[in-house]
Structure 1
Amino acid sequence: MATIFISLGSNIDPERHLKAALTDLQDHFGPLELSSVFESEAVGFEGTNFLNMVVAAQTQLSIADVVSRFKQIEQRHGRVKGAKKFAPRTLDLDLLLYDDTISEQPIELPRAEILYNAFVLWPLAEIAPTLNHPVVNQSYQALWNDYDKSQQSLWPVEFSWSA
């Protein structure tokens, strides 16, 4: 059984889409461990604010199958296949970590944005503070402590989801 960490984000009816994604993820992967939900400004384009969080789950699926499942969930909730990268979205699910796997194919792991996006690092540090990044060999809490927090504006928000 592999432990996976998933980044969730949305800036189109974000509360509804995050809740729907959590329900789908739980249906596919079982019990979830959730970070707080954070609101942040759009990064890389002008747009409405995003809601973001990180979720941990267990799986026996391969990396490719996990990513395929994420794409199905995104599309079921209105994500347009092949849409522009830096644009508003109903739902974005990204595999951040698959145990301590380091790979380039079928996707890059660990996901590079862990180290440079506050909306990924802060919630990851919240639910896995003592876990070490498999490349830089520092804990996520240490990485968050050292992160230049003036780079991106981010704040926790109230969010409620019933499993």
Structure 2
Amino acid sequence: MNQVLIALGSNVEKEKNVPAALALLRAQPAMAICAISPLYETTPIGGDGSPSGQPAFHNGALLVETALSPAALRDLLRQMEALLGRTRGADKFAARPIDLDIAMVRQLATDAIGAQMSDTADQENVQVDPDILRFIHLSVPLADVAPDWIVPQTGETLRHVAERHRLQNCEKDSQIPRKIRESI
């Protein structure tokens, strides 16, 4: 069994696409949603980290449990994106109707008959999207649903990564996510 943090974002018809994506995720028999972050409005950024001039994003995060492998889950998320009109192109920072990305995967230890032994993961059993360490629009919602998860690259909790991003961006008010709804 895997615990997975999924980052969700939209800046094209976001009032329609975010709830539609959440409905698709909830309807999946292969996963159980354990936690959902508040929804944040964030400034879109380009590859260099500067504002891009696109419409604002709505960003959030979910903690799910699934028996799907990370590759199978990624394929499922891509299918959901396609259903909602997303086409992936060369520009990683283009506007998009929906973005569903695996941010972190934690494999839970199980005993011989498959019972969960521990809800803590060994560091080597954690897979991380390195963008968590770069972008506040990822770290803040992820910290809402899994504040004590540790990012192996730095040894920091997601809570600490999000706080560090808030402090680094305190003079750039437009970069700090603004909570717009308590739940997606």
State if a TM-score over 0.5 links the two structures: yes
SS at the partner of 1:123? helix
Is 2:181 the partner of 1:158? yes
> Shift in Å at residue 143 of structure 1?
1.6
Give the CA deviation at 1:12. 0.7
One of 11, 35, 60 as aligned partner of 1:33: 35
Answer whether contact 1:102 1:110 (CA < 8 A) is retained: no
Q: State the distance in 2 between where 1:85 and 1:129 align.
A: 27
In structure 1, the gaps of 5 or more residues are 104-108
Alpha-carbon RMSD across the aligned residues, in angstroms, is 1.9
Counterpart Cα distance in 1 of 2:43 and 2:88? 23
Q: Does 1:62 align with 2:69?
A: yes
Q: Does 1:11 align with 2:11?
A: yes
CA drift at 1:153: 3.1
Q: For the residues of structure 2 that align with 1:40 and 1:81, how far apart are their CA atoms?
A: 21
Which amino acid is 2:66 matched to?
Answer: T
Counterpart code for 1:121: S
Q: What is the aligned-residue identity percentage? A: 28
Q: Determine helix, strand or coil for the equivalent of 1:31.
A: strand
2:99 matched to which residue of 1?
A: 92
Offset, 1:11: 0.4
Aligned match of 1:24: 24
Alpha-carbon separation, structure 2, partners of 1:144 and 1:21: 24
CA distance in structure 2 between the partners assigned to 1:36 and 1:59 by the alignment: 22
Match of 1:119 in 2: 137
Q: Indicate how the Cα distance of structure 1 residues 130 and 159 shifts in structure 2: closer, same or farther if over 3 A, else same.
A: closer
Counterpart CA distance in 1 for 2:33 and 2:143 is 19
Name the CA distance, whole Å, in 2 between partners of 1:143 and 1:159: 21
Residues 26 and 32, structure 1, Cα contact 8 Å, conserved in 2? no
- Number of aligned positions between the proteins: 156
Q: Is 1:73 paired with 2:73?
A: no
Normalising by the residue count of structure 2, what TM-score does the alignment of the two structures yield? Answer: 0.78
Give the strand-richer structure, 1 or 2.
2
Distance 1:14 1:7 in 2: 14
Please say if 1:49 is aligned against 2:70: no
* Corresponding residue for residue 149 of structure 1: 169
- Offset at 1:126? 1.3
Q: Do 2:38 and 2:179's aligned partners in 1 also have CA atoms closer than 8 Å?
A: yes
Query: Whose radius of gyration is greater, 1 or 2?
Result: 2
